[in-house]
Amino acid sequence: MDIPYYTKSIQDIKIILKTSEEGLSVEDAKERVKQYGLNQLKEKEKINPFFIFLRQFHSIVVYILLGAVIISLLVGEFIDAGVVMVILIFNAFFGFIQEYRAEKSMEALQQLTSLKAIVLRDNHVHEIDAKYVVPGDVLLLEEGNKIAADCRIIESVHLKTQEAALTGESTPVAKTIEALPQNLALADQKNMVFAGTMVSFGRGKAIVTATAMNLEIGKIAHLIEETDKSLSPLQKNINNVGTIMGISVMIICAFIFGFSAFKGHSILPAFLAAVALAVAAIPEGLPAIITITLAVGVKKLIKKNVLIRKLPSVETLGCTTVICTDKTGTLTKNEMTVRQIYANNTFVEVTGTGYKDVGDFFIDGEKINPQQIGLLLKIGLLNNNAHIEEEKAIGDPTEACLLVSAAKAGIHADEKRIEEIVFSSERKRMSTIHESGAKHVMYTKGAPDVILQLCKKINNNGKVRSLTPKDKKAILAANHRFTSSALRVLGFAYKEFPKKKAEYTDADEKDLIFVGLQAMIDPPREEVKDALRKCKEAGIRVIMITGDHETTARAIGEELGIGSAVLSGKDILKTNLVDVVDKIDIYARVNPEHKLKIVEALQKKGHVVAMTGDGVNDAPALKKADIGIAMGITGTNVSKEAGDMILTDDNFATIVNAVEEGRGIYGNIKKYFGFLLSGNISEVLIVFITLLLNFPLPLVATQILLINLVTDGFPALALSVDPYEPSVMKQKPRKKHETLFKGLAPYLVWYPLMMTLAAVSLFAYVFYYGGSLVKAQTMVFCLIAIFELFQALSCRSTIHSSITVGLFKNPLLIGAIALSATIVGVVIYVPLFQHLFDTVALSWLELMTIIILASSGYIIIEITKALQRVD
């Protein structure tokens, strides 16, 4: 059982870990390496690339196709066998590349501990590889250091750490050495520091309490390793379709061969026709076309700042019903910004966000000269240890935003600092003393109530007077107004010393002159509100999950329009999440385990869950979610490797583009699916029914294969890159278990019946009254081909009229239809190909009759789609 080190006193820590403030001895450290092992995360057993490649062939469709290849080779159909095998190898190679890149979550976690650590051993400072750090070691912590292990702090000099990547806390956490009460969330364990986080301010010492897989990062690694990844809805659909079609086609083709033999037809032509029909009826192009469709979508998404790591993720995102998003750095900028100021008994609004020194100051909507509040801004500038370089904060973000508010007013430092009375969590204030001409001036900032208690006067519009009870009431009311809006507030005051002193202490922090308040927040991204609105229109719910306090989280949630129903991390374990998960908009103060539980609860309620995040703490939930969306700029390597896709611009609005792309891609797959299967069903029915009616075979094997490889292939490929359905983002997300068959009745029922009726009737008429089997087979071949080319046009939309969406908006499809029609014409009218495919030339009257009959399929599909829209 884990020891709650944060509840122990420093003395108890030394006893438990058998160490001292001077550190371990070198020999003891070596022994502990043997006892505890190296301070590095375990890697999963590496997958053999050869087995990853073989795994690409593990599906029912592929098994059937491999069997068809073998049979085709045995009967001499080398061209068809070669084409099918090329498609299979291409599909397997593409899938191999994607899957091979997906096995890196643990490698990214490993990188977090690939650093140096400064330790005390035998009371001497040593710099060692972090992997040799052991429990009981004393680490020296300094600003800018990445922490190598989980530690209990034993000395803190203004120590603050940036823990956003682990806990979600957006601002640096001030550290203490005091023992704390039990049952605290990770973010509240303020006497601990954790591996993978950064020292943002101050310095300190800490005793190592955990290494390797016992780290908080290590626990996350366990969660990642233990989280299973289920198949995407599309993969499940394709496997189901493959199973159903494979079994059905093999049974029917076996029956056709047996029936033909029983009726006395020639065995070899009957067998060849049955094999050809099996090859034609099984959608061997489906895996390849899906891969191509997804790959084209991936290229489009790269241009829209989305990097897809796993192809099915594009499709899965299209049916997402819930997006769980981290607040810090995802919905917000992770850049503290001064929003409001209270000075001179009035409220001032400050525009601009982040660390750009662009913005203005307004009172009641009217722009003001910021010099009116210049003293307040000057105190924030001078009483400051942060720096800004290239619009990035170095140091405490809270102090950095004070530099920005001063810069917006054109105020610059012009007084030399001579001393500092440092901030502490007990004092809740900080003072700096500056040389101003012949006198010294103390500038003080801190918690408003603390500052107010130290003040006896107030500077109002440049005039100093006594601080009255009415002034105090107004100041406290302003502070309450700010905090109620989740703004973080600092109070500012000053004091002049007519005579210079040699030394200043906190005893001098009295009789101050109050100046005002500055209120700040980590602001939402500008584009987020619009992105959230689009998500709502698309039927996608957005839930905010953050390590921040409830008040801050609720204020951001309300401002963005996410909602206000909040559940804290401490209450998650006490609550049956499945019962309340559909009612909660915001989860605050959460740990990684909580995030995982939230995702699991949503999935149990039938939701398709997308999880966005950028920190180490997000990785387990990113991997468990149906689709994990990592941030590319601020994201840790861990989150990127755990995610299915990465936003390269860290822009929440980019998710909307990805959703649209996912839905559009699925729609195009559905177009192809309907087009392919309707033709395949029709071909099987035509052969099956003509045999039942005691007719000869209506098609020879080469004609069946040509229809399959040419008239099916080119238009289907063009449909895979067709422009998306109109209003795709106005539709509700499809159900997680919705099959590809839904809404395809016009293609899979009415069209095959119409085509079968037309083909069987035409074959019977020509065979009986024309007396020519070859002509009858030629006309059926031509009829089926033109039927399918007409259908390709109707497949431009499975919902709307093909005329409405534009018959000619896909030039590639028009080209594919023209090419296929040309090939059919060549086969019918060129003597060499007539011999190869057993065809004869048709008259113009016969050809026009076929075209008119074939158009009936297009008409019946368009009428059926119109009737479905009315329903």
Q: Which are the catalytic amino acids?
A: 326
Contact by Cβ (8 Å): 660, 729: yes
Q: Exposed (0-12), middle (13-18) or buried (19+): which is 740, by Cβ within 10 Å?
A: buried
Spatial neighbors of 82 by CB under 8 A, at least 6 apart, are: none
> Which among 593, 645, 644, 637 is positioned nearest to 615, based on CA atoms?
637
> Per the structure block, which two tokens stand in for 855?
């158009």
CA–CA–CA angle 480, 482, 487 (5° rounding): 130
Dist CA 639 CA 646 (whole Å):
9
**Rounded to 5 degrees, what are φ and ψ at 683?**
-60, -45
Instruction: Supply the DSSP string of 832-855, one letter for each residue.
Output: HHHHHHT-----HHHHHHHHHHHH
Question: What does the buried/exposed string (b/e) look like for 317-347 if buried means 16 or more CB atoms within 10 Å of the residue's CB?
Answer: bbbbbbbbbbbbbbbbbbbbbbbbbbbbebb
Treating both helix axes as pointing N-terminal to C-terminal, what angle do 652-692 and 267-281 enclose, rounded to 10 degrees? Answer: 160
Best CA proximity match to 719, nearest among 830, 840, 617, 811? 811
The alpha helices in 125-204, defined as continuous H runs, are: 164-167
Strand partners, 586: 544, 566
Q: At what angle do helices 844-870 and 773-794 cross, to 10 degrees?
A: 40
- Which residues is 698 bridged to in the sheet? none
- Give every CB contact of residue 373 below 8 A, 6+ residues apart in sequence: 341, 343, 344, 348, 361, 409, 516
Tokens representing residue 452 in the block: 């107010």
Q: What is the CA radius of gyration of the chain?
A: 36
- 806-815, long-range: CB < 8 A, 24+ apart: 806/723, 809/723, 810/718, 810/719, 810/721, 810/722, 810/723, 812/718, 812/721, 813/715, 813/718, 813/719, 813/722, 815/718
Site of tokens 């969406």: 805
455 bridge partner residues: 512
Across-strand partners of 208? 151
Gap between the Cα atoms of 360 and 595, Å rounded: 39
Token representation of residue 375: 């003293």
Report CA torsion sign: 41, 47, 49, 55: negative
Name the amino acid, one letter, at 863.
I
